[in-house]
Amino acid sequence: MSPPDIPSCAVRLRTEREARLWDIPEMARELRHLAPDLPDIATLARMIRRWEGGQHRPGTRYQLLYARAFGCSYERLFAPASSPEAETGPVTVMSAGEVTRFGTWAEATGVGSATLEYYATSVSRLAHEYLHRPPAPLLSSAADLARDLFDLLQTGHQRLDQRRELYATAAKLCSFMAWAAGDLGQIGAAEAHARTALVLAEQADIPAARALALCVQSKTAFWDGRQRQAAMLARKGFECSPNDTMKVFLALQEADAYQELGNVPQALRAVRDAERARATITRRDDPGGLFSCGMARQGNYTMTVHLRAADVRSAMAAAEQALQAYREGEERAYGTWAQIHIGMAHGCLITRHLEAAHSHLAPVLAEPPERRLAPVVTRVLEIGRFLAQSRYRTDPLARDLRERIDHYRAAAQTTEGQDRD
DSSP for 139-169?
Answer: HHHHHHHHHHHHHHHHH----HHHHHHHHHH
pLDDT value of position 33: 86
3-state percent helix, strand, coil for the chain, nearest multiple of 5: 75, 0, 25
pLDDT tens for residues 243-259? Answer: 999 999 999 999 999 99
Taking CB atoms within 8 Å and a gap of at least 24, the contacts of 1-8 are 1/53, 1/54, 1/55, 5/54, 6/53, 6/54, 7/54, 7/57, 8/80, 8/81
Residue type, 198: L
Sorted by sequence, the CB contacts under 8 Å of residue 232 that are 6+ apart come out as none
Q: Is pLDDT above 90 for 303?
A: yes
Q: Is the pTM of this model over 0.75?
A: no
- Percent of the chain exceeding pLDDT 70 equals 89
pLDDT tens for residues 6-15? Answer: 888 888 899 8
Residue 236 to residues 219, 231, 239, 240, 251: CA-CA distances in angstroms? Answer: 13, 9, 5, 7, 10
Q: Return the top range by mean pLDDT from 4-18, 66-80, 204-218, 375-389.
A: 204-218
Kindly state the average pLDDT of the residues 349-367: 92
pLDDT, the chain, mean: 87
CA distance 3 to 55: 12
Q: Is pLDDT above 90 for 389?
A: no
Binned at pLDDT 50, 70 and 90, residue 289 comes out as very high
pLDDT tens for residues 49-75? Answer: 999 988 888 888 888 889 888 888 777
Spelled out in words, what is the top-level CATH class assigned to the domain 3-79? Answer: mainly alpha
pLDDT tens for residues 401-412? Answer: 989 998 888 877
Q: Is pLDDT above 90 for 393?
A: no
pLDDT value of position 419: 39
Kindly state the average pLDDT of the residues 296-314: 95
- Among 109, 73, 57, smallest CA distance to 203 is for 73
- Among 337, 334, 413, smallest CA distance to 374 is for 413
pLDDT higher at 92 or 237: 237
Buried/exposed 75-101: b ≥16 CB within 10 Å, e otherwise: eebbeeeeeeeeeeeeeeeeeeeeeee
